[in-house]
Amino acid sequence: MAKVKKWIESSEEKPKPEYDEAKREFGMAIGKPFIQLRIEVPTGFEDMRAEFLSLETDKDFLAEVEDLIKKRLIYEKRDAEET
């Protein structure tokens, strides 16, 4: 949060990467934590560029990813409890 305060108090022009980092930190501090993933089109599926790019806003796909994340977190929690 110190970075955000420093960012707000400073009046000089900011480089974009520094702005993005401060914006992300601020969002994490006041809202739910989140992650961003960079996923490249799998090898052999380059001809499905439009379909691949449409997944970014596909509600069914995003629900599947969220379900996968839940399963993974449950698995990691159980694994940590067993060790």
Output the DSSP codes for 5-72: HHHHH--S---HHHHHHHHHHHHHHHS--------PPPTT-GGGHHHHHHGGG-HHHHHHHHHHHHHH
pTM above 0.85, yes or no: no
**pLDDT value at residue 12:** 63
Task: Note whether 24 and 43 are same-domain residues.
Answer: no
Task: Note whether 43 and 79 are same-domain residues.
Answer: yes
Task: Note whether 17 and 41 are same-domain residues.
Answer: no
What domain range includes position 55? 37-83
Domain count within the chain: 2
Task: Note whether 52 and 16 are same-domain residues.
Answer: no
Task: Note whether 56 and 82 are same-domain residues.
Answer: yes
Task: Note whether 47 and 59 are same-domain residues.
Answer: yes
At 4-48, the pLDDT tens digits run 666 566 666 667 788 888 888 888 788 888 888 999 999 999 999
